């Protein structure tokens, strides 16, 4: 007798049972797709720039701090021929709390950042310029603003991570246990089902642990993303192979049952 016959096969269970399980698995997988989309939206702006990237996850679990690119360029001595007084005025403005108010403040006269930039930067940093600097236009406040602010994003507070984990960890583990059990009741090779369960289990554990570890070490952000993807893919595949098994001809353990 093949070893797999120790578990009942999904195909041995009645038509109504399979119909019900099919609906439940479809609901589960649909829920995963929806929450995947929601996750993207939820984290989209964590790094304060549009689009969902690794930096969004990094911002949420580790925090991000980066100096303003404008400040960094000026401090690095860019552009070479900028008068020291103008450089100092721009740096003082970047350090102030009134970046947007003072950008084109008329009271500042020639020392207004917009004036200095117009005179000293736009030869290169205008859209129509021939210089490669035109790739980074600085013509309007909307161009300058994203480069002016430094980034200081605090990671999600521990209490919120704990609350989120309190709902996510048990639910996702249960889901994986159940689709794993369903997968084990199919005709698919044991080793294949085992591999999917192992990948999902390791992925989920890594993901959940990395939520905490990423706070101190940003490298764990890769484990959050990789572990999350691994367990998501594992749930999807286990669900799919169960669906396929339930409706494909054959696959019973004891063909004489009905």
Which positions touch ligand HEC (CB under 6 A)?
A: 69-70, 72-73, 78-79, 82, 117, 120-121, 123-125, 131-133, 135-136, 147
Question: Do residues 125 and 134 touch, judged by C-beta distance below 8 A?
Answer: yes
Closest CA to 146 of 47, 60, 63, 55: 47
- Cα gap 70→57, rounded to integer Å: 25
* Residue 67 vs 255, nearer CB to ligand HEC: 67
Smallest gap from Cβ 136 to ligand HEC, in A, equals 5
Q: How far is the CB of 125 from ligand HEC (least distance, A)?
A: 5
Question: Closest approach of Cβ 149 to ligand HEC, in Å?
Answer: 12
Q: For residues 35 and 75, which CB has a smaller minimum distance to ligand HEC in the complex?
A: 75
Q: How far is the CB of 146 from ligand HEC (least distance, A)?
A: 10
Residue 70 near residue 121 (C-beta atoms within 8 A): no
Tell me the CA distances in angstroms from 52 to 34, 37, 42, 59, 206, one per residue in order. Answer: 16, 11, 9, 11, 21
Tokens of 91: 């740096």
Contact indicator for 26, 186 with CB cutoff of 8 Å: no
Q: Which is nearer to ligand HEC, 117 or 238 (CB)?
A: 117
Q: CB-wise, 39 or 82, nearer to ligand HEC?
A: 82
Nearest approach, Cβ of residue 191 and ligand HEC (Å): 50
Is the bond preceding 79 in cis, omega lying within 30 degrees of 0?
yes
Give 120 or 242: the residue with its C-beta nearer to ligand HEC.
120
Cβ distance to ligand HEC smaller for residue 18 or 71 = 71
Tokens of 114: 């917009």
Structure-token match 């479809």, residue found: 26
Residues making up the chain, counted from first to last: 258
Residue 177 has phi, psi (to 5 degrees) of: -60, -45
- Both tokens assigned to 200: 């999902």
Report whether 99 contacts 148 (CB < 8 A).
yes
State in angstroms the smallest separation of the CB of 50 from ligand HEC: 18
Least distance in Å: CB of 141 to ligand HEC? 13
What are the backbone dihedrals phi and psi of residue 134, each rounded to the nearest 5 degrees, phi first?
A: -65, -15
- What is the residue whose two structure tokens read 């736009």? 122
* 124 or 173: CB nearest ligand HEC: 124
């Amino acid at each position: 007798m093949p070893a797999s016959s120790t578990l009942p096969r999904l195909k041995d269970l009645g038509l109504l049972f399979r119909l019900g399980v099919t609906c439940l698995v479809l609901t589960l997988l649909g829920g995963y797709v929806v929450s995947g989309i929601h996750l993207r939206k939820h984290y989209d702006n964590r790094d304060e720039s549009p689009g969902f990237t690794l930096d969004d996850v990094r911002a949420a679990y580790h925090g991000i701090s980066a100096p303003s690119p404008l400040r960094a360029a000026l401090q690095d001595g860019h552009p070479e021929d900028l008068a020291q007084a103008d450089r100092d005025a721009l740096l003082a403005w970047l350090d102030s709390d009134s970046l947007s108010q003072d950008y084109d403040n008329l009271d500042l006269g020639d020392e207004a950042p917009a004036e200095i930039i117009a005179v000293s930067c736009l030869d290169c940093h205008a859209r129509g310029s021939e210089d490669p600097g035109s790739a980074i236009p600085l013509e309007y406040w909307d161009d300058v603003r994203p480069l002016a602010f430094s980034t200081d994003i605090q990671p999600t507070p521990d209490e919120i991570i704990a609350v989120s984990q309190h709902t996510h960890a048990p639910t996702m583990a249960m889901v994986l246990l159940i689709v794993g059990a369903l997968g084990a009741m199919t005709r698919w090779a044991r080793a294949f089902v085992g591999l999917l369960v192992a990948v999902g289990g390791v992925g989920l554990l890594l993901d959940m642990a990395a939520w905490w570890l990423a706070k101190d070490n940003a490298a764990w952000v890769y484990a959050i993303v990789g572990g999350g993807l691994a367990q998501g893919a594992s749930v999807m595949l286990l669900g799919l192979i169960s669906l396929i098994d339930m409706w494909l001809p054959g696959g019973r353990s004891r063909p004489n049952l009905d």
